[in-house]
Amino acid sequence: MSCPQCSQGFILPGEPEGEITNVTSINAYLHRAPEGSTSTRAVFLFTDIFGLQLKNSKILADTFSKRLGCDVWVPDFFAGSPPLGIYDLEGIMPRKPGQTIPFFSYLKFAWLFLRRAFGFYRNRPAVVDARVKSFITKVKEDKKYSKVGAVGYCFGGSMCVRLSSKHLLDSIVIAHPGACPPELVQTIQIPSSWACAEDDMSFKPQVRQAAEAVLAGRKGKPNFTEYEFKDYKGTVHGFASRPHLEDAEAKAGFDGALDQTVAWFEKTLS
């Protein structure tokens, strides 16, 4: 049954089918591989800034698990206290490319981040990355997966890039990431697939182009890693994790990012 917010975006219809488990004192959502699957790969899903409190990450994990035939894990790297609430950005974020945001929304945005400053500090990358590295290391040790990938959205997209050089993952998918300066992209050591919005205040066109230029510049060199970039028309930041499904272009972008992720992992985690 869908919820009242579904027509506004943000929350995906359906209910999670997996379970909450605990690894190295970190709670995680797990959707196990479908019965009869012989896959030895696994995928980790890194959430956006809203963490596990937003059920979208669980719905996405269920979908990937079924389509890839493998375990999908969603670690609660915010330890139950994500920096933002699920409706904090309502009325602040654009729904369509080029949409003008009222001036009072910028004031609301500034006030929101002032109020949430401690939460952001408490969940800064150095802290959450350490939690996730410990979590992935333990899961891999226990489960003996042959290959593991990670898909990340917004905050989790940047985390994918940061962890790509830590010898934890074999492949990553990055959807409308947060901060990804060229020097961070340069550290990528594994195959990467990028799902990009047409209009993204976090991953602006010039930043997106710089990221692709870094990876393209490695062609023919020892540090080259396979990559792809796909842009989705009519989409804004968040389209792959919190889409407005009643908008045809937004839904097409959401479905396209899902298909892109599945295809990339079928290719790189085989």
Long-range contacts of 96-103 (CB under 8 A, 24+ apart): 96/199, 96/234, 96/236, 96/247, 97/197, 97/198, 97/199, 97/234, 97/235, 97/236, 98/199, 99/199, 99/236
Give the domain extent around 134.
4-269
How many domains is the chain partitioned into structurally? 1
What letter does residue 78 receive in the DSSP assignment?
A: T
User: Is there a contact between 52 and 30 (Cβ–Cβ < 8 Å)?
Assistant: no
Give the pLDDT confidence score for residue 115 in this predicted structure: 73
How many Cβ atoms are within 10 Å of 226's Cβ, its own excluded? 13
Question: Looking at residue 51, which CATH number applies to its domain?
Answer: 3.40.50.1820
Q: Which residues pair with 194 in a beta bridge?
A: 174, 229
**Is the pLDDT reported for residue 13 higher than 60?**
yes
User: Is there a contact between 148 and 43 (Cβ–Cβ < 8 Å)?
Assistant: yes
Give the pLDDT confidence score for residue 94 in this predicted structure: 72
**Is the pLDDT reported for residue 229 higher than 80?**
yes
User: Is there a contact between 79 and 100 (Cβ–Cβ < 8 Å)?
Assistant: no
User: Per-residue b/e over 174-186, b at no fewer than 16 CB within 10 Å?
Assistant: bbbbbebeeebbe
Phi, psi dihedrals of residue 34, rounded to the nearest 5°: -55, 150
- Give the whole-angstrom CA distance, residue 146 versus residue 171: 12
- Interval 43-84: pLDDT, tens: 999 999 999 989 999 999 999 999 999 999 999 999 999 987
**Is the pLDDT reported for residue 191 higher than 90?**
yes
- Interval 103-144: pLDDT, tens: 566 566 666 677 777 777 889 999 999 999 999 999 999 999
**Is the pLDDT reported for residue 1 higher than 70?**
no
Name which of 170, 176, 182 is nearest 157 in CA terms: 176
What is the pLDDT of the chain when averaged over all its residues?
91
In the block, which residue shows the tokens 């998918």? 173
**Is the pLDDT reported for residue 186 higher than 70?**
yes
